[in-house]
Structure 1
């Protein structure tokens, strides 16, 4: 039986506008126990920002993050999937684009996030990645 992205994605993603301070994104990630937020302009997905993006694109180049916005550090070459798409197709796209998370969109609007960890838990529950992904957040 074909498994769809909607079966594995994390629904109701946290979304922030591009002009949101990076500190607010970091707090949202901490408070929600997640590693990413989607960047939206209105109701359309513009990008994704991860905890790693904040460090590598934000903190590494600035002494002061007070004027840094999520739009400054987000990945804007967005890879997406639809909820009804086959999981294996979405994972192949992730591999081809060397990304760990993709936005799940329906009609251009964000409805979820699919991560490699989500897929690992389902496809290979005995793998190290599945164990790490299923573990309680350390925040």
Structure 2
């Protein structure tokens, strides 16, 4: 039987609204020790924003901390469903050079799958799996 995304995704991802400020989003990332958040508009998933987006596409580009995160959210969003086959998701992530993908049902976020999740589940002896499974450092 094929393995599905729901078996390895991180469930209940943090979702921020397109109108949330970059400052608030950065604080959320810091508090939760995560590098990416799903962006929604009225609860419907419309994008993803990473810590790198905040720095490179935000601060370095002169966008202020009070700007809405919707300005930086990914424009070409790729999502997967919880029942999608893991092998297909690996292929999609490889083909599109994606490091993380929101998992949605309808238009609602139910999880997020990362290359770290895939490494831990599919190649537990890899360096990436070791790093991904390690507890966060203070």
Q: TM-score, normalised by structure 1?
A: 0.93
1:56 aligns with 2:56: yes
Question: Is contact 1:8–1:114 with CA below 8 Å preserved after alignment?
Answer: yes
For 1:50-129, what aligned pairs fall within 5 Å after superposition?
50-62=50-62, 65-129=64-128
Question: Is contact 2:17–2:43 with CA below 8 Å preserved after alignment?
Answer: no
Moved more, 3-12 or 20-29: 20-29
RMSD across aligned C-alpha pairs, in angstroms? 1.2
Per the alignment, in what secondary structure is the counterpart of residue 91 of structure 1? helix
Runs of 4+ in 1 over 3 A off after TM superposition: none
| Counterpart in the other structure of 1:7 | 7
Deviation per CA, 1:47-103: give whole Å up to 9, x if none. 0001111111001111x6233221111112111100000111111111111110000
Per the alignment, in what secondary structure is the counterpart of residue 92 of structure 2? helix
* Gaps in structure 2 of 5+ consecutive residues: none
| Counterpart in the other structure of 1:32 | 32
Q: CA deviation at 1:40?
A: 0.4
CA distance change for structure 1 residues 50 and 90 in 2, over 3 Å: closer, same or farther?
same
Following the alignment from structure 2 to structure 1, what is the Cα–Cα distance between the partners of residues 135 and 29?
Answer: 14
Per the alignment, in what secondary structure is the counterpart of residue 60 of structure 2? helix
